[in-house]
Amino acid sequence: MSRLDPPRINRRSFLSLASLGSFFAALGTAAAGMLRLPNPAVLPGPVRRFKLGPPEQFSPGSETAFAEQNLVLFRDDQGFYAISSTCTHLGCTVARSKDGFACPCHGSRFDSKGSVIGGPAPRPLPWLEVSRAANGDLVVNADNEVPEGTRYRV
Amino acid sequence: MKDPSRIYRCLLLVASLVTVGYLVGAAVHENYLAQWKVVQHQYQDILRQKATDDRGRELLAKFRVEMKQASIPALGAVDRCVTCHNGIDDPRMTDVEQPHRTHPGHILDKHPVDRFGCTVCHHGQGAALTFREAKADDVFWDYPLLPPEMTEATCVTCHDAEKLPPDQIPLLTAGMKLYQQKSCGSCHKLGGRGGALGPALDNEGAKTKHQLIMTSLRPPHTTWNWQLAHFRDPGGVVPDSQMRNPTVTQREALALAVYMLSQWKRDIPESYLAPDKIEQKYRALHPTPLTGEQVYQQYCNACHGNGSYSRWDKKFKRFVPAIRGVSLVSTATREYLQANIEQGRPGTQMPAWGPHAGGLLPDEITGVIEYLRAGAPTAPAMTALTLRGDPSHGLSLFLRNCAGCHGMNGRGGLAPEIGNPVFQRAATDEFIIGTIRNGRVGTAMPAFQRPEAPTLGDQDIADVLAYLRTLGEQKGRNAIAQNVTLSAPPGGRP
């Protein structure tokens, strides 16, 4: 038998192969659908995109604390950046100290860029994504972290 | 074609192919052609057209086709309206078609979607992803989407309507005025003040469609449409409604409907309330008294009219007395009027208006009495009778002359109920005698002692008075009926 002359598949084995194939196809599709379930398109949690107002409101060199949103917005000569004020240790709200941030709960200390300089905090304070809404207002998305040093230029 | 089962096998094949085709079609429709995905792709195209500067390009680059929502746990809102209404906060989108257009006005500047969501103002089903379900006027949803012009009804959830600029809430302002002009308070309570004939309206806006009778209503079967139709024709929407047709134009009906929808004691966190709303809540504890004329217009006018003439009321099937008629105010004492206003007339449509019933303040009751008596002689000239009356003769006179209107045993009919306990307590003998002698100008009550042809002499009037006073002594109607049978003179009944 050469490759040019493959063995004829008889009707019965073709049908059984086809039914087996469609069974596994259906199983695979159902499994894929089920695996998608733990990852919903939207979550019912509160909105963590905060509109903070027009950029002109914040002068260069300023820092503004937003207590309700738990973040501090800075503006320097390179642009805007926002640092979360939720301690990475157990979630207390950190206070602004002379050289950075200090957590009142367990004494974690961070420098003014959010890096840990003491205490039990395992990670630096996250920098949050800053962007602008369609109407020009600054928007901080507290769900998206950006690398330290990222600035948003207006 | 020899095999007879061949046709069945063909049928099976066709049915399987149709089923598989349908399932594939449904999968494509659900995953790729969902309404919101189509809308977002349209919006992406619009963004591309408008991306002429850096900002525009940035917005385009950041745009993702994905489900979007504003979830506000404090308001219990999960609003996915922003999945399709992508351009509401983009000032460039004023010239595009809905659902992409900019939100009108500067409302979103003060009320960002991230903090307020959409349904707290617009109602509707926030979690829906198609417009039909979001509008929710034909599905089971408590508060369907309000039409744009009626949305102002929800502003007062957090604001004091009187402190908002009237041009922002034109219908609500008109509705508040109409409520007073049409004297709705005569029958309905609002904020603890008002009559008792109709339901209290304090939480009217909170009513869901299941609390309203929809059978006679033309679709859409929504709460706002019910309010609108009900103001046009109360009896047509609620069978046996006691409410008179308020005779309003379409726009006035709309204004009143908006005002009703705004009456909703909603539990909103304090942080959402405007300062004026909190002041309004405190002010409601210490209301400023209205003048007598205002009280009359807002709380008496619907039944008594201008008060100079007695009015035949079709719904009540009786005359409503002329309470500002000259013959009443010239004979009635201040105490009589006060007792009637404060205690009402139990058993009739006249409710009690005292501070613990209709909610009028003592000053307001004094004021409205002044208003009723305006122009009346300061000291009513009344002559007392010194004759002793005979109640059984009085009964026969009463049956002949009075019972036609005032009812057997003074039970009331077309005319007021003489046996009414409040009347019996408050009316002085002089008042009753004066009324019988001189009648009531402007009502159906004739004078029984006209100088030219007196129907009743002084002794007759004394007899009638004696009989009328026996009505007040009796407790309960059976006792009165018994008394009448016992004391009726033989052949006394004409």
What does the pLDDT average to over B137-161? 91
- Cβ of B73 within 8 Å of Cβ of A46? The answer is yes
How far apart are the CA of A40 and the nearest CA of chain B, in angstroms?
10
What does the pLDDT average to over B326-355? 87
Give Cα separations from B324 to B254, B379, B431 (angstroms): 33, 16, 15
How far apart are the CA of A68 and the nearest CA of chain B, in angstroms?
11
- Write the CB contacts of B477 (distance below 8 Å, at least 6 apart in sequence): B409, B411
Which of B17, B19, B71 to substitute to test the interface with A, most A CBs within 10 Å? B71
Taking contacts as CB-CB distances below 8 angstroms, the residues of chain B near A47 are 69-72, 114
Q: Please name the member of B93, B108, B114 whose beta carbon is closest to the beta carbon of A47.
A: B114
CA distance B121 to A131: 27
Q: Please name the member of A44, A49, A135 whose beta carbon is closest to the beta carbon of B90.
A: A135
Provide the β-strand partners of residue A139: A51, A131
What does the pLDDT average to over B199-223? 90
Q: What residue in B sits closest to A139 (Cα-Cα)? A: B114
The values of phi and psi at residue A140, to 5°, are: -110, 125
Per residue in B449-489, pLDDT (tens digit) is 888 878 888 888 889 988 988 887 754 444 333 333 333 33
How confident is the prediction for chain B on average, in pLDDT?
87
CA distance B280 to B304: 31
pLDDT of residue B440: 85
What pLDDT band is residue A45 in, cutting at 50, 70 and 90? confident
Structural domains in chain A?
A: 49-146 (2.102.10.10)
- Write the CB contacts of B63 (distance below 8 Å, at least 6 apart in sequence): B43, B44, B47, B86
Give Cα separations from B101 to B42, B82, B131 (angstroms): 12, 11, 15
- Whether B378 has a pLDDT exceeding 70, the answer reads no
pLDDT of residue B489: 38
Per residue in A70-124, pLDDT (tens digit) is 999 999 888 999 999 999 999 999 998 888 899 999 999 999 889 999 889 999 9
How far apart are the CA of A108 and the nearest CA of chain B, in angstroms?
31
Tokens at B185, concatenated: 């308070």
- Whether B493 has a pLDDT exceeding 70, the answer reads no
Question: Quick one: CA torsion of A91, A93, A98, A99, rounded to 10 degrees?
Answer: 30
CA distance A73 to A81: 6
pLDDT of residue B375: 66
CA distance B310 to B334: 20
Tokens at B372, concatenated: 């009723």
Taking contacts as CB-CB distances below 8 angstroms, the residues of chain A near B59 are 134
Angle at B50 between CA B49 and CA B56, to 5 degrees: 125
pLDDT of residue B471: 84
Proportion of chain B above pLDDT 70, given as a percent: 93
pLDDT of residue B54: 85
- Whether B373 has a pLDDT exceeding 80, the answer reads yes
For chain B, give the number of residues: 494
pLDDT of residue B477: 44
pLDDT of residue B492: 34
Render B156-221 in DSSP notation, one character per residue: GGTS-TTTS-TTTSHHHHHHHHHHHHTTGGGT-EETTEE-SSSPP-TTGGG--GGGS--TTPPSP-
pLDDT of residue A3: 67
What pLDDT band is residue B383 in, cutting at 50, 70 and 90? low
CA distance A108 to A117: 8
Q: Please name the member of B67, B93, B114 whose beta carbon is closest to the beta carbon of A51.
A: B114
What pLDDT band is residue B209 in, cutting at 50, 70 and 90? confident
Which of A47, A66, A154 to substitute to test the interface with B, most B CBs within 10 Å? A47
- The more confident residue out of B184 and B328 is B184
Q: What residue in B sits closest to A40 (Cα-Cα)? A: B67
- Write the CB contacts of B312 (distance below 8 Å, at least 6 apart in sequence): B318, B319, B320
Q: What residue in B sits closest to A140 (Cα-Cα)? A: B114
CA distance B313 to A115: 82
Upstream peptide bond of B287 is cis (omega within 30 degrees of 0)? no
pLDDT of residue A10: 87
CA distance B359 to B189: 9
Q: To which H or E segment does residue B320 belong?
A: strand B318-320
What pLDDT band is residue B82 in, cutting at 50, 70 and 90? very high
pLDDT of residue A2: 59
Q: By the 8 A CB rule, do B483 and B473 touch?
A: no
- Whether B494 has a pLDDT exceeding 70, the answer reads no
Residue B194, sorted as left (phi over 0), alpha (psi -120 to 50) or beta, turns out to be left
CA distance B243 to B337: 26
- Whether A42 has a pLDDT exceeding 50, the answer reads yes
CA distance B387 to B186: 42
CA distance B77 to A103: 33
Q: Please name the member of B62, B78, B109 whose beta carbon is closest to the beta carbon of A131.
A: B62
Q: By the 8 A CB rule, do B284 and B359 touch?
A: no
CA distance B258 to B172: 6
What does the pLDDT average to over B428-435? 86
Render A57-115 in DSSP notation, one character per residue: GS-TT-EEEETTTTEEEEEETTEEEEEE-B-TTT-PBPEE-SSEEE-TTT--EEETTS-
The values of phi and psi at residue A143, to 5°, are: -85, -20
pLDDT of residue B450: 82
ipTM value of the model? 0.75
Among A130-134, B393-397, B409-413, name the one with the lowest average pLDDT: B409-413
Q: By the 8 A CB rule, do A84 and A126 touch?
A: yes
- Cβ of A135 within 8 Å of Cβ of B91? The answer is yes
pLDDT of residue B48: 93
**Residue B291: exposure state from Cβ atoms within 10 A (0-12, 13-18, ≥19):** middle
pLDDT of residue B476: 45
Max CA separation in chain B (angstroms): 124
pLDDT of residue B385: 64
pTM of the entire predicted model: 0.81
Helix B334-343 to helix B362-373 angle, to the nearest 10 degrees?
130
- Cβ of A131 within 8 Å of Cβ of B92? The answer is no
pLDDT of residue B376: 65
